Amino acid sequence: VQLQASGGGLVQAGGSLRLSCAASGRTFSDYVAGWFRRAPGKEREFVAFITWSGSGRYYADSVKGRFIISRDNAKNTVYLQMNSLRPEDTAVYYCAADRNYANYRTAGEYDYWGQGTLVTVSS
């Protein structure tokens, strides 16, 4: 499956953005999906995860209550709605997918990755 992330941009603190991750090449409902991010000078970190049908959703503590992950399998797309953005949310955001998962917080669990989209939050 090929993944294409989009929706990044520049936003003021307290604002919102919605990222999209469009999948192609396979039946997307056969894949779980996650969002990760890499801030300047930092390691890539887990942000959010969603199961095949969307019935299971999990978040990093740093974004819980502010970010919402969702998916529309008819459109082969996963979304990340980001609200109440903070300067520390500034990062390149990546979507990832895999057929199965053992530890959804681990980047190495995912076989497929999008190219990343930059989110910059100004104070």
pLDDT digits 0-9 by tens, 61-78: 999 999 999 999 999 999
Instruction: Check pLDDT > 90 for residue 26.
Output: no
Q: Find where tokens 């409902």 sit.
A: 29
Name every residue whose Cβ is closer than 8 Å to that of residue 31 and which is 6 or more positions away in sequence.
1, 23, 52, 97, 98, 99, 112
How confident is the model over 7-17, as pLDDT tens digits?
999 999 999 99
Number of neighbours of residue 108 by Cβ within 10 angstroms: 6
Q: Residue 3's closest CA among 38, 33, 29?
A: 33
Per-residue confidence (pLDDT) for residue 27, from 0 to 100: 86
For residues 47 and 84, what is the distance between their CA atoms, to the nearest angstrom?
15
Q: Residue 32's closest CA among 110, 92, 93?
A: 110
